[in-house]
């Protein structure tokens, strides 16, 4: 047996698992993931994809002693100081919107698993579907969001959909205000109007009520140095906005519609010549 002359331990300070909530599956390929120190624009490091589809970083500035503990004396007596990084994610296959997030490293384990709290665990970092994503076997609700006060696209607004037994789902508008929310087809309903309920209605007759709400507060958005998109945390923590069910009418906190099986639901403001949904901040 050959003698071991030297053994080197390398610790990966940050690994991220990405997740598609619509299909409840890992996004293990097709992403370009980069990171750089928060507050700066360089140096930029590109993640490599592990065999398990986790995107991992090495060579992050300020973390060399964490990556190579043997070179720094075989370990540290106290936990290492955290460094904050901006992480930018782009989907080279155009399934998901680009996203920017801030992450503290080193992170023990795979980010963001274990951050759910209360004993729960997140399967991965959720990505949001792009408006041009193919629907496949999923349900989809679409909208073109336009600010009522300016006529400009409501970029980065969050559309929240309550589909009852089908769950609550979210989508983010792109720079053009276009948003698409993909989610599993809700449970089929039995025929109503009889007691006890009759047999299950055929797929073509299935409909589900949908309640749409909006988060929109442009002044709350914050874009890190070197990033093209606002920090996702600031997008998802915008204050509630308003929607216009009818042009010329009063704004409302929510909009009701019906999703039909096999058809995309297009949310729009009634009486407009175009298929737009008027929205604004409160």
Domain boundaries, the chain: 14-126, 139-281
Provide the residue count of the chain: 282
Q: What is the pLDDT of residues 78-124, one digit of tens each?
A: 667 899 999 999 999 999 999 999 999 999 999 999 776 655 678 99
| Residue segments in the chain with a per-residue pLDDT below the cut of 50 | 4
Class of 14-126 per CATH? Answer: mainly beta
pTM attached to this predicted model: 0.89
Tell me if domain 14-126 and domain 139-281 are identical in fold: yes
CATH number assigned to the domain covering 139-281: 2.60.40
Contacts 24+ apart (CB under 8 A), 165-171: 166/139, 166/208, 169/21, 169/22, 170/128, 170/236, 171/128, 171/129, 171/141
Q: What is the pLDDT of residues 147-178, one digit of tens each?
A: 999 999 999 999 999 999 999 999 999 999 99
């Amino acid at each position: 047996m050959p003698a071991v002359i030297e053994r080197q331990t390398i610790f990966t300070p940050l690994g991220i698992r990405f997740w598609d909530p619509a299909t409840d599956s890992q996004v293990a390929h097709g992403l370009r993931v980069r990171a750089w120190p928060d507050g700066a624009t360089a140096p930029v490091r590109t993640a490599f994809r592990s065999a398990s589809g986790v995107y991992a970083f090495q060579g992050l500035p300020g973390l060399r002693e964490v990556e190579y503990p043997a070179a720094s004396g075989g370990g540290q007596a106290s936990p290492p100081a955290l460094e904050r990084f901006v992480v930018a994610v782009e989907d080279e296959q155009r399934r998901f919107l680009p996203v920017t997030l801030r992450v503290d490293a080193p992170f023990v384990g795979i980010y963001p698993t274990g951050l759910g709290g209360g004993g729960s665990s997140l399967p991965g970092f959720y990505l949001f579907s792009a408006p041009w994503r193919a629907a496949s076997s999923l349900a989809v609700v679409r909208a073109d969001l336009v600010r009522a006060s300016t006529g400009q696209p409501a970029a980065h607004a969050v559309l929240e959909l309550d589909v009852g037994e089908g769950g609550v789902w979210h989508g983010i508008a792109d720079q053009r205000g276009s948003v698409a929310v993909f989610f599993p087809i809700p449970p089929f309903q039995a025929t109503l109007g009889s007691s006890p309920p009759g047999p299950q209605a055929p797929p073509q007759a299935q409909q589900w009520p949908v309640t749409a709400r909006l988060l929109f507060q442009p002044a709350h958005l914050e874009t890190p140095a070197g990033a093209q998109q606002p920090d996702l945390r600031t997008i998802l923590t915008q204050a509630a906005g308003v929607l216009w069910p009818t042009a010329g009418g009063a704004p409302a906190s929510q909009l009701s519609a019906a999703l039909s099986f096999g058809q995309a639901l297009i949310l729009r403001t009634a009486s407009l010549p175009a298929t737009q949904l008027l929205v604004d901040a409160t």
